[in-house]
């Protein structure tokens, strides 16, 4: 395993050093806002990061496992194709933007615009699990995949911010607990699910979250979940009149 101390590197030289490393497992210590780590990586490497990762961590990534012991900034997992990012801390805005595969597990909170434009295709089923809360615009324009917001970290903040699911037309958002309707977009419907049996389809994700962050799965399943989906899958189809004259 190669170990790099980020103190010795600036933004660009750290990326060059990581790229040049032949090791399958790489650890970086003392990260201090270095950006674009793991960006565009198409491999099965394991990247262990300690400190604060800068913007667009794992953007366009296709396969690597990234463990971040610390907080992430904006754009974690931006347009990610495959792989897994596990954050032992919180992340900023637009995490998982346009994500089309792989998993993004966040122990604490996520900022605004979580999982916007997330989409699924065949075996590509992206999933985001947030242990704490998420800000406004969760799953805006969502076109597939799964977002789960658990609120298990004991914060008093609202589970999600307003405008959740705006413009959404595919995919599912699960929120642990009750969510005020005023925070949910018009074109969405909710149902309340209880326990392991109702939550069969997302149980593997919940188990994985529990394993990553040492939570008791029974504790997570103890509360009911609200499942949010789109009512009309063709939200814009009634808006237009084709003018052929």
Partner 1 sequence: MTLSMLTPAFTVGRNEERCIRCGVCVNQCINEVHHLDEDGFMWVTDKNCVGCHRCAVLCPTQALAITEFPLAFRPNNYWSSASLREIYAQAETGGVLLTGMGNPRPYRSYFDHLLLNASQVTNPSIDPLREPMELTTYLGNQAAMLGEREKPLLKLEVPVMFSAMSYGAVSLNVQKSLARAAREMATFWNTGEGGLHSDLKEYADSTIVQVASGRFGVTPDYLNNAAAVEIKIGQGAKPGIGGHLPAEKVSADVAKTRMIPAWSDAISPAPHHDIYSIEDLAQLIETLKVATNYQKPVSVKVAAVHNISAIASGMVRAGADIVAIDGFRGATGAAPMRIRDNIGIPIEMAIAQVDQRLRDEGIRQSVSLVAAGGIRNSADVVKILALGADAVYIGTAALIALGCHLCQTCFTGRCNWGIATTDRQLSKRLNPEIGAIRAINLLKAWEHEIKEMMGGMGINAVDSLRGNRLMLKGIGLEQHELELLGVTAAGD
Instruction: Tell me the closest approach of the beta carbon of residue 169 to partner 1, in angstroms.
Output: 6
Sign of the Cα pseudo-torsion (124, 188, 210, 1, in order): positive
Contact 11, 37 (CB under 8 A): no
Residues 51-80 that bind partner 1 (CB under 8 A): 55-56, 59-62, 74-75, 78-79
Q: Is 168 helix (H, G, I), strand (E, B) or coil?
A: coil
Cβ proximity to partner 1, 101 vs 132, nearer residue? 101
Please list every residue from 120 through 179 that binds partner 1, using CB under 8 A: 120-121, 124, 137, 140-141, 143-144, 167, 169-170
Q: Which is nearer to partner 1, 75 or 132 (CB)?
A: 75
The answer to whether residue 98 forms part of the interface with partner 1 (CB under 8 A) is yes
Tokens encoding 177 = 């607990």
H or E element at residue 204: helix 203-213
Given the rule CB under 8 A, which of 39-47, 146-154, 200-208, 218-226 is the region that contacts partner 1? Answer: 39-47
The pair of three-digit structure tokens given for residue 77, joined into one six-digit string: 């997992």
Question: How remote is the C-alpha of 161 from its chain's centroid?
Answer: 16
Q: Could you tell me the two tokens for 231?
A: 């009512």
Report CA torsion sign: 168, 189, 157, 96: negative
With CB under 8 A as the contact rule, the residue among 35, 90, 176, 212 that binds partner 1 is 35
> Measuring CA to CA, how many Å separate 51 from each of 10, 89, 140, 234?
15, 10, 30, 43
- Please tell me whether residue 239 binds partner 1 under the rule CB under 8 A: yes
Q: Give me the residues that bind partner 1 (CB under 8 A), please.
A: 15, 19, 35-36, 39-42, 55-56, 59-62, 74-75, 78-79, 81, 94, 97-98, 100, 113, 116-117, 119-121, 124, 137, 140-141, 143-144, 167, 169-170, 233-245
């Amino acid at each position: 395993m190669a170990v790099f101390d980020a103190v010795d590197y600036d933004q660009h030289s750290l990326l060059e050093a990581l790229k040049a490393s032949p090791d399958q497992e790489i650890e970086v210590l003392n990260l201090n806002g270095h950006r674009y780590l793991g960006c565009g990586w198409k491999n099965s490497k394991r990247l262990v990061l300690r400190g604060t990762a800068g913007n667009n961590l794992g953007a366009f990534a296709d396969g690597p496992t990234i463990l971040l012991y610390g907080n992430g900034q904006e754009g974690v997992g931006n347009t990610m194709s495959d792989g897994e990012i596990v954050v032992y801390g919180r992340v900023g805005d637009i995490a998982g933007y346009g994500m089309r595969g792989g998993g993004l597990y966040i122990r604490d909170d996520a900022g605004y615009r979580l999982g916007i434009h997330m989409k699924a295709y065949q075996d590509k089923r992206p999933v985001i699990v947030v242990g704490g809360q998420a800000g406004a615009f969760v799953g805006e324009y969502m076109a597939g995949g799964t977002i789960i917001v658990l609120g298990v970290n004991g914060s008093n903040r609202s589970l999600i911010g307003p405008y959740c699911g705006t413009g959404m037309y595919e995919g599912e958002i699960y929120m642990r607990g009750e969510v005020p309707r005023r925070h949910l977009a018009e074109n969405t419907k909710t149902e309340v699910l209880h326990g392991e049996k109702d939550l069969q389809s997302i149980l593997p994700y919940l188990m994985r979250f529990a394993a990553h962050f040492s939570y008791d799965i029974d504790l997570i399943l103890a509360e009911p979940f609200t499942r949010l989906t789109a009512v009309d899958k063709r939200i814009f189809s009634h808006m237009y009149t084709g003018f052929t004259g």
